[in-house]
Amino acid sequence: MCGIVGALGEWSTIDIALGRISNRGPDSQGIWKCGRGKVVLGHARLAIQDLTPSGTQPMTSFCGRYVIVFNGEIYNHVTLRTMLKNIGIEWKGTSDTETLVNCISAWGIQKTLEHLKGMYAFAVWDINEEQLTLARDRMGEKPLYWGWAGKTFLFGSELKALRSYPKYQPQINQEALALYLKYSYVPSPYSIYEGIQKLPAGSYVTISKNQKNIDEVDVRSYWSLEAAAQNGIDNLFEGSPLDAVNAVESQLMSSIKGQLLSDVPLGAFLSGGIDSSTVVALMQELSSKPVSTYTIGFEEKGYNEAHHAKAVSKHLGTDHTELYLNANDALAIIPSLPEIYCEPFADSSQIPTYLVSKLAKSDLTVALSGDGGDELFCGYNRYLAAMNVWKPMQKTPLFLRQFISFTAKSLPASRWNQLFDTLRPVLPERLKVSMAGEKIYKFSDVLSLDSGEGFYSSLTSCWNNPADIVINLSRSFNPISSWHDLDCVENSMMLTDQKTYLSDDILVKVDRAAMANSLETRVPMLDHQMVELAWRMPVEYKVRDGKGKWLLREILYKRVPREIMERPKAGFSLPLDSWLRGPLREWAEELLSVSRLEADGYFYHEPIRNAWADHLSGKANNQGLLWNILMFQAWLDNNR
């Protein structure tokens, strides 16, 4: 795990850029420049494999043609070395970087990428062809920004490195800002800045000096998540449920075993939930000594899951460390968030993720996490809502649902109950349960929707209409869509989450929080063979008895008693609603003031002030809407 940065052309102050991302690689820094200002490559190293100088970067291939800077881990690099044994390479060390650059030398980019198992973002310069190639791993675990600052091509692990380029004058992309308001993160391929993009997961791009903008570049895919999903659905697993459990268990065990490769101390995050507990249980089974596990607990009632993690740890026999924090501990991190995330990012679980990474770094350099389980195995409540609300809704004619929606919004709760009793005979049974009593007010907007994509969007959007918030945004603005209609709405939702929310929110959150503490994180669930197998599993093997992640639960219950794990799903959340009315109120009021919003000139203040007033009065819990705006405002302060 490291940080990379570079340019096609001169960059005399690239050492400053490396300093901005030194947290990603505190062990050493290296710079390589080609003569006559053709290219400059920079690398900040966090040493994980081969801790000797032979693992330092930038690194040149054995043939002398290719120079690489690499961020990530290649888990199958030992196997790849055996495949190269007959071409006369004299290996200088044991690092996966040396393996990677020599695979490129022997096979080229496309074949090399097809053989890799790992998480990675890298840039490789072909001295003969005078071309720079950038590549990113299949699921987007490692970040890579790229684009032009004037006539100079730049790339880097984080935007703050690119901001160090002397001639770069970044301008905020209005469409990216609108997308951020909708999703609380900036979705790929956008970045918050004009002219700079995120390289899509599973792709690579080759740039020469005569290319001057993104429109002239062909981004190529070497692995397609959509294709993997469709292929899995077309070739569903035909074994019994028990066979399916065994197949997933075997693949996950293989993935975890491969990711235990390390020359530095390694452990895991343990929240006490299904995903992290499953990863830790299999890790412990593979380990001859207690696995080091880490959990953050909060003193606020209703937000603490640490005792569940402790129970799992005790049963598995891990070497467990937990740290209980109060509001002040968490609030102290907020001023650092804009620097940590380097573009607007408003998933509030960024705070506990940073804190648990900081805790783990006291002992470790590498930590495994359970991320990906929800998206692969139907774990989010929105997937269950698709089964229990959206599908039953389709049995009721759209005109009737639209009438119900309109009526529900105009009637007081007492009158709605009377109308509900009248409508009960014509409604499907599961829809009756979802709409009972005052719950109709939560579903009134959903009832009138006419597509699965609209249903999904209603559940995942923050500010629904960014054009009402962002000044000078075109009214014709149409948010990008990653929706694909698959065989059922649950699969369509999972695919969309894997392409967007997982890559641009969950993995960004973990990468930045961990790397701010110089900690490498690994995600065994996202081994591409694990992903491909998960798509072969029928939905009915993922959801049973009204609960998601049935396959993972069955794997875990072989190792942890069911009674320890059976409880309602809880996220890694914070009591932001009460904090915004209490200890964060003064900070928030300053950032949300009319004068501040008008002076900055990005947002219409009226809808924001209305949301703030409703929140303070207790009329509504608008923590998501407000945190979204606050994180942008704080980021803006940090990047003026």
Q: What is the DSSP string of 41-105?
A: EEEEE---S--SGGG-SSEE-TTSSEEEEEEEEETTHHHHHHHTTTS--------HHHHHHHHHH
Q: List Cβ neighbours of 568 (8 Å cut-off, separation of 6 or more).
A: none
Rg (CA), the chain: 25
The confidence band for 433, taking pLDDT boundaries of 50, 70 and 90, is: very low
Helix axes 274-286, 241-258, angle to 10 degrees: 70
From 543, 531, 529, 556, select the one nearest 279 (Cα to Cα).
556
Mean pLDDT over 438-445 rounds to 54
Assign 395 a pLDDT band (cuts: 50, 70, 90): confident
Q: Which two tokens stand for residue 590?
A: 């300053």
- Residue of 484, 606, 596 lying closest to 229 (CA atoms): 484
Q: Which residues pair with 520 in a beta bridge?
A: 366
Structure tokens at 434: 């979802």
Are 100 and 74 in contact by the 8 Å Cβ rule? The answer is yes
Q: Could you tell me the pTM of the whole model?
A: 0.93
Q: How far apart, in Å, are the Cα atoms of 395 and each of 391, 431, 625?
A: 7, 10, 33
Beta carbons of 18 and 5 less than 8 angstroms apart: yes
User: What amino acid is encoded at 496 in this protein?
Assistant: T
State the pLDDT confidence band at 417, using cuts at 50, 70 and 90.
low
Tell me the pLDDT of the chain averaged across its residues: 91
Which residue, chain included where needed, has tokens 């959007």? 461
Q: What is the mean pLDDT of residues 92-113?
A: 97
State CA 262 to chain mean position distance.
23
**Cβ atoms < 10 Å from Cβ of 613:** 12
| Sign of the dihedral defined by the CA atoms of residues 54, 131, 203, 343, in that order | positive
For residue 563, is pLDDT > 60? yes
| Backbone φ and ψ of 158, nearest 5° | -140, 150
pLDDT tops 70 at residue 404: yes
At the topology level, CATH places domain 2-223 in Glutamine Phosphoribosylpyrophosphate, subunit 1, domain 1 (3.60.20)
Confidence of residue 481 (pLDDT cuts 50, 70, 90): confident
Q: CB–CB of 490/377 below 8 Å?
A: no
DSSP 258: H
On the question of pLDDT at 387 being above 50, the answer is: yes
Question: Which of the residue ranges 125-134, 443-452, 544-553 would you say has the lowest mean pLDDT?
Answer: 443-452
CA distances from 470 to 345, 364, 389, 609 (A): 17, 43, 32, 14
Pairing of strands 196-198, 266-269: unpaired
At residue 572, the pLDDT reads: 62
Could you tell me if 263 and 27 are in contact, meaning their C-beta atoms sit under 8 angstroms apart? no
Token pair 């890694």 in the structure block, residue: 572
Better-predicted residue by pLDDT, 537 or 434: 537
The neighbour count for residue 256, using CB atoms within 10 Å, is 24
Report whether pLDDT(446) > 50. yes
Q: What is the DSSP letter of 544?
A: B
Residues near 215 by Cβ (< 8 Å), separated by ≥ 6? Answer: none
For residue 135, what is the DSSP state?
Answer: E
Fold that domain 224-571 belongs to in CATH: Rossmann fold (3.40.50)
* Predicted local distance difference test score (pLDDT) of residue 503: 97
| pLDDT(421) > 70 | no
- SS3 per residue for 509-533: HHHHHHHCCCCEEECHHHCHHHHHH
pLDDT in tens, 587-624: 999 999 999 999 999 999 999 999 999 999 999 999 99
Instruction: Give the CA-trace dihedral at 439, 443, 447, 448, to 10 degrees.
Output: 130
Q: What are the boundaries of each domain within the chain?
A: 2-223, 224-571, 576-638
Q: Which of 323-327, 501-505, 631-635 is predicted least confidently?
A: 323-327
Q: What is the pLDDT of residue 375?
A: 98
Q: With cut-offs at 50, 70 and 90, classify the pLDDT of residue 63.
A: very high
Question: Does 553 score more than 60 pLDDT?
Answer: yes
315-319, 391-395, 480-484, 490-494: the lowest-pLDDT one: 391-395
Give the number of residues written for the chain.
640
Q: With 50 as the cut, is the pLDDT of residue 437 above it?
A: no
Pull the structure tokens for residue 39: 């290219």
Greater pLDDT, 574 or 41: 41
pLDDT value of residue 434: 45
CA pair distance 446, 463, nearest whole angstrom: 16
Per the structure block, which two tokens stand in for 503? 């890559």
pLDDT class for 413, splitting at 50, 70, 90? low
- DSSP letter (8 states) at residue 203: E
Percent of the chain clearing pLDDT 90 (strictly above): 75
Least trusted range by pLDDT, from 230-234, 519-523, 563-567, 585-589: 563-567
The pLDDT score that the predictor gives to residue 441 is: 45
Residue 523: which pLDDT band, with cuts at 50, 70 and 90? very high
Mean pLDDT of 296-300: 82
Burial label, 534 (beta-carbon count in 10 A; 0-12, 13-18, 19+)? buried
Residue 264: both structure tokens together: 């530095």
C-alpha separations of 34 from 144, 166, 594 in Å: 22, 19, 51
Per-residue pLDDT at 442 exceeds 90 = no
Answer yes or no: are the C-beta atoms of 155 and 123 closer than 8 Å.
yes
Res. 548: pLDDT tops 70? yes
pLDDT band per the 50, 70, 90 thresholds, residue 436? very low
The reported pLDDT for the residue numbered 321 is: 97
Report the pLDDT value the prediction gives residue 329, as an integer from 0 to 100: 85
pLDDT band at 449 (very low <50, low <70, confident <90, very high): confident
Whose tokens are 């890799």? That residue is 116
CB atoms within 10 A of CB 265: 12
